[in-house]
Structure 1
Amino acid sequence: MPVISAPQAFNEDDLYVDLEKIFEYPLFLKCEGFNFAGSIKLKAALEMVETAERDGQLTPDSVLVESSSGNLGVALSMIAANKGYQFVCVTDSRCNPATRKMMEALGSQVHVITEPDPAGGLLGARIEHVKALCARDERYVWLNQYTNPSNSTAHYQHTAPAIARQFPDLDVLFIGAGTTGTLMGCARYFRTWHRPVHVVAIDTIGSVTFGGTPGHRTIPGLGTSIRPPLLDESYIDDVVHVEEADTIRTCHRLARHGFLFGGSTGTIVSGAMTWLARHKKQNLTATAIAPDLGERYLETIYQPTRTHHLRDDDDLSPQTPTTTPQAA
């Protein structure tokens, strides 16, 4: 049995759910929520912190600060608590209440931004707040998940090879687009693999990541109001945009079969099923990455006041998001 002394030392990396019995098309869902941080963000957080330590950016007196919609903030809170750093997470009003409470329970400070920046939205306002904190106190160290190469390196070195080991005949990989760290790390890895892998990015309607029209978004995780600096679209084959209502429908459909996943997973599965339905290719081996589980969304996605109109079985089927082919 594994015995650990640091919470970040444990991460279940080889658990998949076969979704064919729940949905019409076969899809293997890689579950990334089984670690003490509860999400895939543990990989990026640990890589960024350890790189900053090796480079001498972090000292015992440093105060970590990061902008996060939630999951990275929890991962950094856990790592900071274990390593003895102070940590300030700058989030916004869309952050799940349970996520904020988890960060505070781990000893972190949480600054909640409520007023969006006129140009950059809530994300832009969060980043400006982080910059102001760093300008006021030289002890603050901003890891900056939006530009930090370690964000994608973590997935190039760990997530993608783990998928490759389990699925040597992989044809299609579906990945959600947030900071695009997971997306770019995996896409770069499979670009040089022994066989072609069709990489499909899943985004939310209202996100500007791939040039869409900015719109109101309430579910944290995927989507941005500022184009991610890490993104290189030449590695992406298709993009599927998903309505938030379809995210909720898909989460509830999974929950009715005993799988409680988070909002990002609902978006990714909804987009993946739409892509598979449109292409209808036989004998495809398809995998998607589920970033987290659903406990943190009980007061949002699974709140009856938000989902009463989605209770009928017919309403729990994903609708028709938009698919945008990308240049190779």
Structure 2
Amino acid sequence: MPIIVSPQDFNVADLFVDLRPDVPLYLKCEGFNFAGSVKLKAAVEMVAAAERAGDLRPGTRLVESSSGNLGIALSMVARSNGFSFTCVTDVRCNAASVRLMRALGAEVHVVGEPHPEHGFLGARLDHIARLCAARPDYLWLNQYANEANWLAHHQTTGPEIIKSFPEIDVLFVGAGTTGTLMGCARYLREARPSTRVVAIETEGSVAFGGPPATRLIPGMGTGIRPPLLDESLVDDVVHVSEVDTVRTCRSLAERGFLFGGSTGTVVSGAGKWLRRHGGRALTAVAVAPDFGERYLDTVYDDSWVAEHYSL
């Protein structure tokens, strides 16, 4: 019987969904914690690293840019540790995520206009720069360049996958800040170098050099190349359209699994890659970052989908 003191002390590390026969893929579910997503791991490690370095002291206000899930995780971790937190997001952030952050005591700033070159992420980072310049008590964790972001997954997610699937042939990980991707890739290079690591990226993201385009579904992709990304650790990249993300999410829902947009993107990309490479003979695992409750007003809303996509 688990008994915990802080919400971040609980996380289910070894639950996988077998998606066969539709897709020959095992899906590592990372949403079974009080933050509801894989981002709890990075939030815990980044806050702990800031405390160890002496940067996070009583009276410090944490600030971070997030499209939703990391903001929720940091809201929870900050509140349980007695720190204040400001999340800078943008108008694409799901309304449910904004409400969750505020319920956890966070201050949420919503950026309304994109940066002319670097999109909404660039605008969010500019906003954070202004906040930190005006308030010396603000500490920006900077998930985009923070080594603790990928270290969290090198210490947890990677080992968890190998423990359950020691003979894994291919791993699929979504690319946002690339913290999860880089942490898992580095661990697999050490523990099982023969495993292929495939990055899944949404169309319109520039992480792997693709052309920028408008993206409506938060959680994956970026308007600025992530400083954490080391492409030498990635064997292949698959780009997924948002239309395919919606289709995949709704297809999974027909089986009773309500996953989030990030998970739909990863499963769609993994399916493409496996069909192309004869994947039924491979042991394939994908990281499912989130669940679908925060996407009820978007991916799972017929009116929203009809307004934005042709299905």
TM-score using structure 2 length = 0.97
- Give the CA deviation at 1:307: 3.5
Give the structure 2 partner of residue 323 of structure 1. none
Q: What's the CA shift for 1:281?
A: 4.4
Secondary structure of the residue aligned to 1:192 is helix
Q: CA deviation at 1:283?
A: 2.2
2:157 is matched by which residue type in structure 1?
T
SS state at 1:95 partner: coil
Residues 175-231 of structure 1, C-alpha deviations (whole Å, 9 max, x = no match): 000000000011111112245110000001111111001101000011111000000
Question: 2 CA distance for matches of 1:145 and 1:282?
Answer: 36
Identify the residue that residue 295 of structure 1 maps to in structure 2: 293
SS in structure 2 at match of 1:266: helix
Measure how far apart 1:169 and its partner are: 0.4
1:104 maps onto 2:107 in alignment: no
The answer to whether residue 187 in structure 2 is matched with residue 189 in structure 1 is yes
SS of structure 2 residue aligned to 1:72? helix
1:128 and 2:126 are equivalent in the alignment: yes
Give yes or no for the alignment of 1:28 onto 2:26: yes
Counterparts of 1:170 and 1:144, CA distance in 2: 32
Q: For residues 181 and 295 of structure 2, what CA distance do their matches in structure 1 show? A: 23
Q: How has the CA–CA distance of structure 1 residues 53 and 244 changed in structure 2, closer, same or farther, with 3 Å as cutoff? A: same
Q: Is the 8 A contact 2:24 2:280 kept in 1?
A: no
Which residue in 1 is equivalent to 2:232?
Answer: 234
Query: What displacement does 1:282 show?
Result: 4.7
Query: How far did 1:174 drift?
Result: 0.2
Q: RMSD between aligned alpha carbons?
A: 1.6
The percentage of counterpart residues that share the same residue type is 62
Contact 2:24 2:279 in 1 (8 A): no
- Cα gap change, 1:40/1:65 in structure 2, threshold over 3 Å: closer, same or farther? same
1:86 to 84, 87, 109: 84
* SS of residue in 2 equivalent to 1:89: strand
Q: Deviations over 1:267-323 (max 9, x none)?
A: 00000000000111452000000001000000111011133599xxxx6xxxxxxxx
Letter in 1 for 2:14: D
Unmatched runs of 5 consecutive residues or more in structure 2: none
How far has the Cα of 1:137 moved from its partner? Answer: 0.8
Partner SS state of residue 66, structure 1 = strand
1:26-57 Cα offsets, whole Å, 9 max, x none, are 10000000000000000000000001011110
Identify the match of residue 74 of structure 1 among 72, 75, 86: 72
Moved over 2 A (4+): 306-310
| Structure 1 counterpart of 2:208 | 210
- Matching residue of 2:223: 225
Look up the equivalent residue of 2:204 and give its one-letter code: G
2:12 corresponding residue in structure 1 = 12
Q: TM-score scaled to structure 1, two decimals?
A: 0.93
Read off the aligned partner of 1:11 and give its amino acid letter: N
Per the alignment, residue 2 of structure 1 pairs with 2
Cα distance between partner residues in 2 of 1:308 and 1:131? 37
User: Partner letter of residue 86 of structure 1?
Assistant: S
Residue equivalent to 2:269: 271
Match of residue 322 from structure 1:
none
| Aligned amino acid, residue 226 of structure 2 | P
From 39, 48, 57, the equivalent of 1:50 is 48
